[in-house]
């Protein structure tokens, strides 16, 4: 069986992440700019570096777990871990054009 390349896995991970929405803002967490980086090693372990809209975000406990669980549904992924960071602090400028349009900022 051919080993998938990390670009294909990265695309699948992004597709899954785009199904997760911030409960307070009707936009997925990827378009909101909450995902800072996605790392995939040769063993197909995934690490996601992400932030929250604020340290007091009501889903601070559950959102990282949801991201991990959804990524683990991808067959080839062996493990998933989410690390939360507030450096840099999230701002509305980090949102994609699509998110800004959806929220009426454009």
Q: Global pTM?
A: 0.89
Name all domains of the chain by residue range, CATH numbers in brackets. 6-94 (3.30.300.130)
Instruction: State whether residue 29 is helix, strand or coil.
Output: coil
Among residues 62, 58, 63, 40, the alpha carbon closest in space to that of 50 is found at 63
> What are 77's two structure tokens?
């992924």
What is the residue-level pLDDT of the chain in tens, covering all 106 positions? Answer: 455 676 789 999 999 999 999 888 889 999 999 999 999 999 999 999 999 988 888 888 899 999 999 999 999 999 999 999 999 999 999 999 999 998 998 8
104: left (phi over 0), alpha (psi -120 to 50) or beta: left
Determine the Cα angle at 44 with ends 38 and 49, to 5°: 20
């Amino acid at each position: 069986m051919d080993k998938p390349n990390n670009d294909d896995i990265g695309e699948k991970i992004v597709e899954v992440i785009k199904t997760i929405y911030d409960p307070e803002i009707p936009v997925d967490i990827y378009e909101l700019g909450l995902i800072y980086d996605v790392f995939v090693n040769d063993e197909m372990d995934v690490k996601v570096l992400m932030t929250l809209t604020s340290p007091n975000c009501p889903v601070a406990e559950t959102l990282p777990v949801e991201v991990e669980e959804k990524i683990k549904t991808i067959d080839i992924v062996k493990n998933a871990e989410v690390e939360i960071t507030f450096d840099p602090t999230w701002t509305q400028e980090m949102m994609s054009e699509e998110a800004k349009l959806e929220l009426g900022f454009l």
